[in-house]
Amino acid sequence: MSVTVVGSGNVDLVSQVERIPLPGETVLSTGFATHAGGKGNNQATAAARAGATTTFVGAFGDDDNGARLRESLTGSGVRPLVRTSDEPTGTALITVSATGENAIVVNAGANATLTDLTQEERAAIAGADLVLMQLEIPLATVVAAAEIASGRVVLNAAPAQRLPCELLTHVDLLVVNEHEAALLGGADHLLTVVPALVVTLGAKGALVRTRDTTTEVPGIAVDVVDTTGAGDTFCGALVAALDEHRPLDDAVRFASVAAALSVRRAGAVPAIPTREEIDDFHP
Ligand code: ATP
């Protein structure tokens, strides 16, 4: 049983503010911190902490941020299959309001150089039982990885963008939030191409759809500190549960617990719960 995550790694520069500034406005932060982040890195970390044997395929810069991300991945038990790029490690400028809302600007940096796949990367993708991807690396690489995969392909279509049919036909499970689902034409349309779909609904939980079934998985009420990375924690924990051959509805319930636990803590990677924390949580 194994999971390979192909995706981005960023260092998050996080400012706490009373409220997110409007265009042209400057606000003073009430706190500042840097954390390991990036959707690929976050999701690989979440999968490993949830118990999956996890490899991360990505690209970092030859800089302190890159070293920090490698350290963070290995510290969480992820095997980093990471190439060193001439571009700087990706960064994300994140603003978190007092109510837990966020606004994010991503600088792709090294992530944009992941334009082809090496033999070793191809082998890690082809040999995995589950391949999990997002859309913060070049789309052509996501398509190539989906074509190479022999196990199940799970795509988190974030950040929101239109997708070619050649990609969706290789996807076994699509995970989107409401905004992404709408941009891609809605759940009913998506289910004409992909066999299964999870629509995450923030605090309200998630909707699990196949062509024949709809299951509502209610949200878990927790005190919200920071929702950054909730979706990533959800996706990583979801594939870890699927890798244990849990049925999809059950895997989504497990992912909902992991994601709810993550919003109770600040930051993306620091907030991702361990398997023990997920198993011990009884709402
Ligand atoms: P983000 O971009 O903030 O990481 P997202 O937009 O990709 O998130 P959401 O639908 O907001 O995804 O959240 C993903 C999952 O995280 C939800 O399905 C839910 O299980 C959990 N979650 C998010 N917000 C909350 C919350 N306030 N309370 C409890 N669970 C939450």
Residues 6 or more apart whose CB falls under 8 angstroms from that of 239 comprise 3, 5, 43, 47, 52, 130, 132, 154
Phi and psi at residue 251, in whole multiples of 5°? -65, -35
Average pLDDT of 3-7? Answer: 98
pLDDT digits 0-9 by tens, 27-41: 999 999 998 999 999
Rounded distance between C-alpha atoms, residue 41 and residue 66, angstroms = 11
Instruction: Give the pTM.
Output: 0.94
* Residue of the CA atom closest to atom 26 of ligand 1: 203
- Residue 9 clears pLDDT 90, i.e. is over it: yes
**232 has catalytic annotation:** yes
- 83 CA distance to ligand 1 middle (Å): 31
| ipTM, two decimals | 0.97
Task: Give the model's pLDDT for residue 267.
Answer: 79
- Residue 228: pLDDT band by 50, 70, 90 thresholds? confident
Q: How many CB atoms lie within 10 A of CB 97?
A: 16
Q: What is the pLDDT of residue 34?
A: 92
Nearest to 57 by CA among 179, 178, 163, 145: 145
- Residues 129, 226, 232, 243: which is the catalytic one? 232
Of all protein residues, the one whose alpha carbon is nearest to atom 8 of ligand 1 is: 231
Average pLDDT taken over every residue of the chain? 96
Report the distance separating Cα 200 and Cα 234, nearest Å: 9
In our burial notation (b when 16+ CB lie closer than 10 A, e otherwise), range 183-199 reads ebeebeebbebbebbbb
pLDDT of 167-226, one tens digit each?
Answer: 999 999 999 999 999 999 999 999 999 999 999 999 999 999 999 999 999 999 999 998
Q: For residue 260, report the distance from its CA to the centre of ligand 1, in Å.
A: 7
Tell me the residue type at 37: G
Give the model confidence (pLDDT) of 96-115 as tens digits: 899 988 898 989 999 999 99
Whether the per-residue pLDDT at 20 is higher than 90: the answer is yes
Considering only CA atoms, which residue is closest to atom 31 of ligand 1? 203
> So what's the pLDDT on residue 266?
83
